[in-house]
Structure formats: C-alpha cells, structure tokens
C-alpha cells in the first residue's frame, strides 16, 4: 500500500476535512468491488453470528463470557457458563432498563445498596418480571463484586447496518472499526470510550473477534447497549463503502513494508473519519491496512513498544476530537 504525503499547508486541512471527494478533481470511485449501496432495498433478515442469541437460560458452547484472554483483566467468569443474553452489574442493568432491553431482573432481596433498591423499583414500574437472585443458578458462578446484587436476561439486541449509520450521520462523523479485538475486557472498555466520544457506530468483524457477551456488557458499564454496533460486515468491504460515502479511513498501526506511519499527535483528522484499530497481538490485517487512506502511529519513548488497544483507541479518538476543535477555532472569522 502506498500513502501519498499531502501538503502540510492549510489547503490540506480544507481539502481533507471537507465532505467532497478525496482530492480536487478526483473522480468518484468506480472500482468493481461490491457496494453496500447496491443491495436491494428493504429490511434484511437477521443473521445469527457464532455465539449469537440463544433462548434464555441456555448455556452456550465454545467461547463463553470470558473469551480469549490476551492482555486484559483476569477472566472473572468460567468460560461458557453464562447465558449469552445475560447481563449483570449495577451499571449494565441500569443501562438495560434505560434502553428498555431488560425482560427479566434477578435482584438480591434485602440488599442495603440503595441503587439495587432503586433499580428493582424501576424494573417493576416498567413491567419487567423480577425474581430473587437465588432463582438464577448461573448467578452462583459470578463473584458478588461482579453482579453487585443484580443480574438479568435481555431482549435480543437490535441489529444495526452501515447504511442506516451513514444515512443519519452529520458532516462531523466518526465511525470506529475494530479488526479482531479478542479480549472482552478490551472490547468493553473500547465501547465505553466510543460512547463517551460520541462515535456514530462501531464495526466488528464477521468472525475472529470477541462477540458481545455478558462480560462485554459488564466491562463497558452497559455502553455496549448504547453504541450502535455492526457485527456482520467484511471489514475491507465496509471501509470501501464508507469511503464511497465521503469518509477517510485512518488506520492505527506501527507500520510495515517500509511505510512510515504519520504521527497521530500532529495528524490533521478529517471531519468524516473512520478510525481503524487492530488486534491486540498482530495489529491490522493486510487487506484492512491496504483499505486505509492513511496510517498513523501514537509516538512512544524508546523501550515502550505499544499501548493496550483500549487505551490506544481512547487516545486516537480524542486526538481527532481535539484536532478538529482547534481547526474550528482557527477557521472562525475575526470579529
């Protein structure tokens, strides 16, 4: 992949940050890769990904709530022993109630925690079925500091598609693409940051990354229910679709094949941007990397090779927000 080095002047900021084509006089992309926009209109039937929704109370096989463990917090729940539609913890239960996604609440009777009492009352007001936590056998495998006196079963999570995210996006739009992030603690932390940074959507790979599990809901403090997540897209095609709709794809990687990444702290981020983060151990896959318009790297002092992927994602998300805020100040006319 080759990365053109654009001019460093103000013209670069105006061209890149605009909603128009990538460069002056550039023609619209006419490659033969399938475009999402060419799909037939109308709703698509939901597709169950590996580890997808199962009936309440059924224990899934294979990857469980803990998922592959690569550099995140210690696994708190034995692998594969929670219902895939389970949710636990005060923050996660609170968000499930706010989003009207909770269909059954297990609560600790006689709890002295005021928030447990409040959420129990809120669930009853909303017509959610409530039962003592002792009625949920799977809760017994959770440490008390994990479920905090509350657990539940959710309705099926709403499916989102890139088309709807692009159609509702403004000229200042950020979409996050995660290329095979495998640790559920990392994924949860990233989703929490994405919600805080106002990301329009998060795209996960069709396979190879951590799915949305109870552990992810817990690690994200329930923000996994607030952020719009696209789970069934091929990432290279997703990036091509987004670029066709005015987005610039910026991958965060250490560089490869003699390509020197740009400094993420001085890079001029476009208003319509896709930030692409890679796997904890291997970074971005080749096809995903080659689909990016630019590659950036977070500078680090000698002897420090990398940051945790959830930390790196937070850094890049807010570097982009800060750069755009400065650009708006610079472009304001003098009074």
pLDDT in tens, 155-172: 988 889 999 999 999 999
Q: Write the DSSP symbol of residue 22.
A: S
CA dist 59 and 103 (Å) reads 18
CA dist 2 and 273 (Å) reads 19
Place of tokens 């006419």: 30
If you write DSSP's letter for every residue of 233-275 in order, what string do you get? E-HHHHHHHHHHTT-EEEEE----TT--PEETTT----SEEEE
CA dist 141 and 81 (Å) reads 8
Q: For the chain, give every domain's residue range.
A: 86-154, 159-331
Contact 80, 59 (CB under 8 A): yes
Contact 272, 19 (CB under 8 A): yes
Which residues fall within 8 angstroms of residue 335, CB to CB, at 6 or more apart? none
Domain 159-331 belongs to what architecture? 3-Layer(aba) Sandwich (3.40)
Segments in the chain forming alpha helices (H) = 10-17, 90-98, 114-125, 144-147, 162-168, 184-196, 214-219, 235-244, 286-290, 309-331
Contact 163, 40 (CB under 8 A): no
CA dist 83 and 76 (Å) reads 15
| Per-residue confidence in pLDDT tens, the chain, 335 aa | 444 444 333 344 444 555 444 444 444 444 433 333 333 334 433 433 333 443 444 433 333 333 333 333 334 445 457 898 999 999 999 999 999 999 999 999 989 999 999 999 999 999 999 999 989 889 888 888 889 999 999 998 888 999 999 999 999 999 999 999 999 999 999 999 999 999 999 999 988 999 999 999 999 999 999 999 998 678 999 999 999 999 999 999 986 666 789 999 999 999 999 999 999 999 999 999 999 999 999 999 999 988 999 999 999 999 999 999 999 998 877 65
In this prediction the pTM is 0.75
Residue 257 is predicted with a pLDDT of 65
In CATH, 86-154 is 3.20.19.10: no
CA dist 258 and 25 (Å) reads 29
């Amino acid at each position: 992949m080759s990365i053109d080095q654009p001019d460093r002047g103000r013209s670069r900021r105006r061209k890149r940050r605009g909603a128009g084509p990538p460069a002056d006089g550039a023609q619209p992309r006419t490659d033969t890769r399938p475009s999402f926009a060419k799909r037939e209109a109308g709703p698509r039937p939901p597709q169950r990904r590996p580890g997808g929704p199962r009936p309440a109370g059924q224990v899934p096989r294979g990857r469980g709530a803990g998922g592959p463990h690569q550099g995140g917090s210690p696994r708190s729940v034995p692998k594969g022993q929670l219902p895939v539609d389970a949710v636990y913890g005060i923050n996660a239960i609170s968000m499930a109630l706010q989003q009207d996604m909770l269909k059954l609440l297990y609560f600790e009777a006689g709890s002295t925690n005021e928030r447990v009492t409040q959420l129990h009352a809120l669930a009853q007001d909303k017509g959610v079925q409530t039962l003592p936590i002792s009625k949920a056998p799977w809760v017994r495998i959770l440490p008390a500091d994990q479920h905090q006196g509350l657990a539940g079963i959710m309705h099926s999570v709403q499916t989102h598609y890139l088309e709807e995210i692009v159609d509702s996006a403004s000229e200042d739009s950020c979409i996050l693409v995660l290329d095979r992030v495998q640790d559920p603690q990392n994924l949860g932390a990233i989703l929490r940051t994405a919600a805080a940074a106002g990301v329009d959507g998060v795209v996960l790979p069709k396979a190879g990354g951590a799915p949305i599990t109870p552990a992810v809901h817990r690690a994200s403090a329930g923000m996994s229910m607030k952020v719009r997540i696209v789970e069934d897209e091929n990432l290279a095609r997703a990036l091509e679709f987004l670029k066709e709709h005015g987005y610039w794809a910026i991958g965060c990687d250490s560089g490869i094949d003699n390509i020197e990444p740009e400094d993420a702290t001085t890079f001029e981020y476009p208003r319509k941007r896709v930030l692409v983060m890679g796997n904890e151990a291997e970074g971005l896959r080749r096809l995903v990397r080659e689909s990016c318009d630019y590659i950036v790297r977070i500078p680090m002092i000698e002897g420090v090779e990398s940051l945790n992927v959830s930390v790196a994602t937070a850094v890049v998300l807010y570097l982009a927000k800060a750069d755009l805020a400065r650009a708006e100040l610079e472009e304001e006319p003098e009074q």
